[in-house]
Amino acid sequence: MKLSPLALAIALLPLTTQAEEAPGDNPDALKTPALVITSGREVEPRAQATAATTVFTRKDIERLQARSVPELLARVPGVSIAQNGGRGGLTSVFLRGANANQTLVLVDGVRLNAAASGLARLEFLGPDQIERVEVLRGSRSSLYGADAIGGVIQIFTRRGEAGLQPRLRLGAGSQQTFERSLGLSGGDHQTRFDLGASLDESEGFDRTSDNRGRDADHDGLRRKAVNLSLEHRFSDSLKAGLNVIDQRGETEYDDAFSFDPGNPSERFSLSSVASHLDAQFSELWTSRLELGHVEDKSDNHDDFNVFNNFQFNTYRDSLGWLNTLQLTDSQQLLLGADWYEDRLNSDSEFSQTERWNQAAYVQHRYQGNGFATELGLRHDDNEQFGSENTWNAALSFDLGQSSELIFSYAEGFHAPTFNDLYFPADQFFSGNPNLDPERSKSYEVQLRGEQLDTHWSLAAYRTDVDDLIAVVSDPVTFFSQPQNINRARLQGLELELSREVLGWQAALAAGILDPRDRDSGHTLPRRAKRTLSLDLDRQFGAFGVGLGWQAVSSRFDDAANRTEIGGYGVLGLRGSWKMNDELEWQAKVDNLLDKEYALVDYSRPNDPFFTSASTHGYRQEGRNALLSLTWTPAL
């Protein structure tokens, strides 16, 4: 029976309470790298979290002068990025070798993955609206349900600080790029808020290198955004909050498939509303009620090619209830329930345009003398594919000298998308409403610690995925349909370490990955087997300098492993000058050596269509620079 979200909210409202260390009770929790939230769905010390997690705070975003979320994620071990030609281009993030739609993306706790494609359009999120990014590596379906096979990426919007602090930022750079943002942050012990707006524009560059017809033009980007965060404490035991982010604009792209390229562009709108009610009801029992709404709208337009005109709008309403029971000083029980409903509005006639999912989960934690355990179970009931059970277990050993060894097992699943299930049938393609979810089993060993001012972690993992969804084509009729046919094995090693070296703050992340199709033996496409990221930063009084270097091995662009994309290494430099307490200049040069490289290549040597349509596919930006000034006047 379908669960009424309104009825559940009314029934549970008198019971809502919140843990002592919930994000809202500690207003500075999101600004602290030593704490994490995503691993256990509550604030906890990073050393206590069982999941391997990478954290970027607001200070990190400003220090790295990040201009996009994918730019941050490329610094995470085990992450491969596929992007159709620079900022604003369609972006896929492969976490630990899982498909792009097998990684769950949250914004302030609300699911961002679009119901039509399963992808989260991270390329549309501007860093000016972001307070923090957490990347949880490894399956977490026992807490979050579908789509968390590779892991969970959670983005938190800007939060207010005590006092009153306005901000204004102006930037100009290569390719006629202009960035502007302004905001106001403030509050006191009871109320905190942050309100911001930004406008980014760029003429862009030619995303493809084939120079065929209209493909030879520059492909620009225009993005405008607003964000609002508001939290109010009614008493010591009751508090509420609201977080809103809205990003919209237009991005131009090249039609790499067509023999006669058009001039396509995508008008996008991506918005999220997350609200919560927190209260501490007793010292032993705490909980949190969450309401969310997400809209992902995409309108593709082309005056020269009718096949580039289509529209997909997806909507999601969600409700969550989270309870923490502190049974003893060493035992904690987490109880929760989730509900969400997806809706699709498209100019294509889908056979189904709505579906709901409801779930309940429980997780027990025990902290003993020298060891700790974690055991969780979740049951999902989906209107389309029925029930799914997932569980996880972890065993941690304190090795002394600030070192820890963790063994863990987790199950996950990915729900078929609306495109997989219901895409309108024609003579060449049809969705398949009989698809089952993709299922995974993950095994992981972590060793981590902190010695001699060095924070380090090493992880080895293996994930087996069954019932992979693949499009199967009839060689005679050319009719295609998704089927559950493939199996994959994803295994790898990850290393992270950070420390000070001769006055420089150094951060190193490295990953080795073997993403293998177990049926064909081929490497899964667009995943790099080796990645390395190094950042060095140092402050000389009012001046700061930094260097970023990323090296990525070659990868295949297709499942048959016939088209190989070359590896690359890119170098970037950044600097800052704090003129006084209110004014700061920042300058950044990306791809300093003007390396020519691509993350996506649609050319196919043995396919006449692809060879004729595109010889090089999409390319990334060459050398580019940005100069910006930030003004934070004191009030």
Of 97, 139, 147, which Cα lies nearest the Cα of 420?
A: 147
Q: How many CB atoms sit inside 10 A of residue 187's CB?
A: 21
What angle (nearest 5°) sits at the alpha carbon of residue 294, between those of residues 291 and 300?
A: 175
> What is the Cα–Cα distance from 13 to 327, expressed in whole angstroms?
23
At residue 16, does pLDDT exceed 70?
A: no
- DSSP structural state of residue 52: E
Residue labelled with tokens 């189904």: 352
Kindly state the DSSP code that residue 31 receives in the 8-state scheme.
Answer: G
Non-local CB neighbours of 477 within 8 Å, separated by 6+ positions: none
What burial class does residue 259 get, using C-beta atoms within 10 Å of its C-beta: 0-12 exposed, 13-18 middle, 19+ buried? Answer: exposed
pLDDT score recorded for residue 297: 94
Q: Rounded to the nearest 5 degrees, what angle is found at the Cα of 15, between the Cα atoms of 11 and 17?
A: 140
- What number is the average pLDDT over the span 589-594? 96
Tell me if 226 sits within 8 A of 181, measured CB to CB.
no
Quick one: pLDDT at residue 453? 85
Lowest mean pLDDT among 161-165, 188-192, 240-244, 300-304: 300-304
φ, ψ at 447 (rounded to 5°)? -130, 120
Maximum Cα interatomic distance, the chain, rounded to a whole number of Å? 73
pLDDT over 90 percentage in the chain: 70
Radius of gyration of the chain (CA): 24
Whether the pLDDT of residue 211 is over 80: the answer is: no
Length of the chain: 635
pLDDT 10s digits, 119-138 = 999 999 999 999 999 999 99
Q: Cα–Cα distance between 433 and 353 in angstroms, integer?
A: 12
In this structure, the number of other CB atoms found within 10 A of the CB of residue 566 comes to 12
Residue 448: other Cβ atoms inside 10 A: 20
7 pLDDT higher than 50: no
Closest among 627, 557, 614, 511 to 79, alpha carbons compared: 511
Helix, strand, coil percentages, rounded to 5, for the chain: 10, 55, 35
pLDDT value of residue 429: 86
Q: Nearest-CA neighbor of 95 among 42, 154, 37, 10?
A: 154
591 vs 598: CA distance, rounded Å: 13
Give 178-188 pLDDT, tens digit per residue: 999 999 999 99
Q: Strand 151-157 and strand 103-107: pairing? A: parallel
Residue 191's φ and ψ, nearest 5 degrees, are: -130, 135
Q: What's the CA gap between 318 and 335, in Å, rounded?
A: 17
pLDDT of residue 173 exceeding 90, the answer is: yes
Q: What angle do CA 571, 100, 598 make, to 5 degrees?
A: 35
Closest CA to 123 of 283, 291, 298: 298
Q: Report residue 61: phi and psi, to 5°.
A: -60, -40
CA distance 27 to 299: 38
CB 360 within 8 A of CB 381: no
Range with the poorest average pLDDT among 69-73, 78-82, 169-173, 448-452 = 448-452
Closest CA to 144 of 417, 331, 340, 355: 340
**CATH number for 207:** 2.40.170.20
| pLDDT at residue number 195 | 97
Q: Label the pairing between strands 568-578 and 564-565.
A: unpaired
Query: Which of 153, 147, 139 is CA-nearest to residue 56?
Result: 153
* Closest alpha carbon to 552 in 70, 54, 75, 84: 75
Q: Give the pair of three-digit tokens for residue 460.
A: 């080895």
pLDDT band at 347 (very low <50, low <70, confident <90, very high): confident
Q: What is the mean pLDDT of residues 269-274?
A: 96
Inform me whether the pLDDT recorded for 254 exceeds 70. Answer: yes
| 309 pLDDT higher than 90 | no
Average predicted confidence (pLDDT) for the chain = 89
pLDDT in tens, 521-536: 999 999 999 999 999 9
3-class state of residue 159 by DSSP: coil
Least confident of 15-29, 130-144, 481-495: 15-29
Residue range of the domain that includes 247: 5-631
Q: CA 577, 579, 582, 585: dihedral to nearest 10 degrees?
A: -30
Residue 3 has pLDDT above 70, yes or no: no
pLDDT score, position 215: 67
Q: Average pLDDT in the 381-403 region?
A: 93
608 secondary structure, DSSP code: H
Range in 70-74, 419-423, 539-543, 584-588 the model is least confident about: 419-423
Phi, psi of 59 (to 5 degrees): -65, -40
Nearest Cα neighbor of 525 from 482, 443, 569, 468 is 468
Buried b (16+ CB within 10 A) or exposed e, 27-42: bebbbeeebbbbbbbb
Total structural domains within the chain: 1
pLDDT of residue 558: 85
Q: Locate tokens 């060689």: which residue?
A: 475
Residue 528 pLDDT: 95
CB-count exposure of residue 457 (10 Å: 0-12, 13-18, 19+): buried
- Taking 80 as the threshold, does the pLDDT of residue 2 lie above it? no
